[in-house]
Structure 1
Amino acid sequence: MQALATTFSEHKQGLEGQWHRGEEVATEEPRVALQRYRSFFNRLLNT
């Protein structure tokens, strides 16, 4: 569980860092991140 939380946190920080530096983030990256979150929470709630 801790490894998943760390992975999500690192990915979130990476995206936020790009946004704060004014870099353009492709819409694909946030879309994939949201899919991962959804998948994780669906698996968590189904157990």
Structure 2
Amino acid sequence: MSTPRGSPQRWPRPFSEHKRGLEGQWQRGEQVATEDLRLALQQYRSFFNRLLST
């Protein structure tokens, strides 16, 4: 079975690393800076906009 274009295996490395970092902070119960969340949302939005435009 082929891997869908939007699957996590095909996401750019910095996107995946950033996501993993935020998840790690949440799992450890650490506070996540508002700026980090804002940047993550921008990256998600940009990624999904590119995905939808193809």
Q: TM-score, normalised by structure 1?
A: 0.68
Indicate whether 1:18 and 2:25 are aligned. yes
Give the count of matched residue pairs: 46
Q: Which has the larger radius of gyration?
A: 2
Give the root-mean-square deviation of aligned CA atoms. Answer: 1.9
Q: Which has the higher contact order (CA 8 A, sep 6+)?
A: 2
Q: TM-score, normalised by structure 2?
A: 0.62
Q: How many percent of aligned residue pairs carry the same amino acid?
A: 70
For 1:1-47, what aligned pairs fall within 5 Å after superposition? 2=10, 4=12, 6-47=13-54
Helix, strand or coil at the partner of 2:14? helix
Give the helix-richer structure, 1 or 2: 1
Query: Unpaired runs of 5+ in structure 1?
Result: none
